[in-house]
């Protein structure tokens, strides 16, 4: 997961450098007044999203498998804890003790 995040940030940083160069060289229009930095960030985000969607597809799938595995383990642990608690409640109820 960390690898995917770092790769995604790398794609964004690359797009940021390219857009910044394109804006300051006049290829892309400059932002209005003091909003030029925000304009460059917005353009970099818009460009990096589809690029990372295509380029990082395999890494994204690998990360999603890891996340799904973690979620399944957490669900299994929660269900195991619930069944242990139910067993304790059932034993206490059978002995006449309040749960």
Among 11, 24, 19, smallest CA distance to 42 is for: 19
Is 95 or 73 the better-scoring residue by pLDDT? 73
Domain edges within the chain: 1-55, 57-99
Over residues 7-17, the pLDDT tens digits come to 999 999 999 99
In angstroms, how far is CA 3 from the centroid of its own chain?
11
What is the C-alpha separation between 19 and 9, in angstroms, rounded?
15
- Residue 2: the pLDDT is 87
**Residues in Cβ contact with 37 at an 8 Å cutoff, skipping those fewer than 6 apart:** 31
pLDDT in tens, 39-71: 899 999 999 999 999 999 999 899 899 999 999
Q: What is the pTM of this model?
A: 0.66
């Amino acid at each position: 997961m960390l690898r995917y995040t770092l790769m995604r940030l790398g794609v964004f940083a690359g797009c940021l450098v390219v857009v910044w160069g394109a804006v300051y060289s006049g290829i892309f229009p400059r932002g209005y007044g003091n909003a030029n930095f925000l304009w460059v960030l917005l353009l970099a985000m818009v460009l990096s999203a589809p690029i990372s969607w295509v380029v990082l597809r395999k890494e994204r799938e690998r990360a999603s498998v890891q996340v799904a595995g973690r979620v399944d383990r957490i669900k299994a642990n929660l269900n195991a804890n619930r069944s242990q608690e139910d067993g304790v409640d059932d034993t206490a109820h059978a002995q006449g003790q309040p749960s």
